[in-house]
Amino acid sequence: MDIVEIIKIILLGIIEGVTEWLPVSSTGHMYLFDEFWPIQASDAFKEMFFVVIQLGAILAVVVMFWNKLWPLGLKKNRKPGADGSERPLHAVQPLAQQEAELRRMARKGEFIPSDQDTLSAARNGDGAPAVTDASGSGNKGVYFKKDILLMWLKVIIACIPTAILGFLLDDILDTYLYNGPVIAAMLIVYGIAFILIENWNKKRTPRINSVGDIGYMTAVMFGLFQALAMIPGTSRSGATIVGALLIGVSRTTAAEFTFFLAIPTMFGASLLKLVKFFLDGNMLGGTEIAALFIGMAVAFAVSLAVIRFLMNFVRKHDFKVFGWYRIALGIVVGIVFALQFAHVIE
């Protein structure tokens, strides 16, 4: 792989890392880049590459939100006494201090607030229950963070519509909808939607202001809106955020849940593309493998910065600027396609 191709792959990784999380359609930007400066590869590889490169962006979400995504916790449950022997927490802390500590842990997600057994045990002088470690010493407790387990259940529920429709319609969508007119139209339609919805939202107060407030029916709605993003040019984050604003979810909550929803969705889409790539008789050589890893590494690094930017941005601004950008990009894509069509006719 020569230096020019490496530069193209790096630029594609940057495009993916930026546009995957901003509601501006990574597909539209990839389409434009491939029209003006295509990578030297087969159509089958490019189709797979433009999806699998998303794995780098997924890893960025996992790294940045690890404490909100990992449902297992590990904590000390006993403290040593003056003679070096281990004593339960209630033996070294006053009851009021224990309760304050448990409440602090609850706020940080290190303790399940609904579990009253621990607090009752503290009041009864039994100490906080814990699962002992392999040595049986009982000095380490392993616990599940209930709020995170419930969040993952909602994410799985939200993924179901896209998983079913993606499996059934993937080939049809690639064959009939991955083209300039469709991408341009979706860019413009959702750009207009962003502007109209944000104007409408000015006088509304969000009813859902945290991921924990998202109910199961709201998760289903997220999933249905995300399924719309199967149409090229829509933008997965754009579809879910527009839908979330419509049903009363705050911008920050919509963005955060969209990030979490991306993990199984994009992993599943990448796996599906890889399987189809190999089932069609294609193979990956050293050059193709290197291209994939370079693209994913760049997408990962760029995504770290973009996710942080977006979370800070939505706390102070609305999404109308992305709506205007989508409209402008849609017009550019439409012009490019029209010029190509006119050239073919000539």
pLDDT the model gives residue 96: 59
Q: What is the mean pLDDT of the chain?
A: 81
pLDDT the model gives residue 301: 96
Give the C-alpha separation, 42 to 202, whole Å.
Answer: 48
Question: Does residue 53 contact residue 292 with C-beta atoms inside 8 Å?
Answer: yes
Q: Region 268-284: what's the mean pLDDT?
A: 89
Work out the percent of the chain whose per-residue pLDDT is above 90.
38
pLDDT the model gives residue 232: 87
Parse the chain into domains and list their residue ranges: 3-66+149-345, 73-144
Q: Region 91-95: what's the mean pLDDT?
A: 49
Q: Which two tokens stand for residue 34?
A: 């491939």
Give the C-alpha separation, 140 to 241, whole Å.
Answer: 41
Three-class SS of 189-252: HHHHHHHHHHHHHCCCCCCECCHHHCCHHHHHHHHHHHHHCCCCCCCHHHHHHHHHHHCCECHH
pLDDT the model gives residue 218: 94
Using CA atoms, how far residue 136 sits from 84, 112, 117, 141, 150, in Å, is 17, 23, 21, 11, 30
Give the C-alpha separation, 327 to 288, whole Å.
Answer: 34
Q: Which two tokens stand for residue 144?
A: 């599940």
Give the pLDDT band of residue 195 (cuts 50, 70, 90).
very high
Give the pLDDT band of residue 173 (cuts 50, 70, 90).
confident
Give the C-alpha separation, 238 to 225, whole Å.
Answer: 9
pLDDT the model gives residue 84: 45
pLDDT the model gives residue 76: 58
DSSP 18-63: HHTTTTT-HHHHHHHHHHHS--SS-HHHHHHHHHHTHHHHHHHHHH
Could you read off the pLDDT of 315-331 as tens digits, one per residue? 888 889 999 999 999 99
Q: Region 84-90: what's the mean pLDDT?
A: 44
Q: Is 289 helix (H, G, I), strand (E, B) or coil?
A: helix
Q: Which two tokens stand for residue 334?
A: 């439409």
Dihedral of CA atoms 197, 200, 206, 210 in degrees, nearest 10, equals 20
pLDDT the model gives residue 91: 43
Buried b (16+ CB within 10 A) or exposed e, 288-322: beebbebbbbbbbebbbebbeebbebbeeebbeeb
DSSP for residue 281 = T
Q: Which two tokens stand for residue 129?
A: 């229950």
pLDDT the model gives residue 304: 94
138-152, 189-203, 283-297: lowest mean pLDDT where?
138-152
Angle between helices 26-36 and 3-19 (to 10 degrees): 160
Q: Region 83-107: what's the mean pLDDT?
A: 53
Question: Nearest CA to 156 among 66, 239, 265, 271?
Answer: 265
Give the C-alpha separation, 62 to 222, whole Å.
Answer: 20
Could you read off the pLDDT of 213-249 as tens digits, one per residue? 999 999 999 999 999 888 888 888 888 988 998 999 9
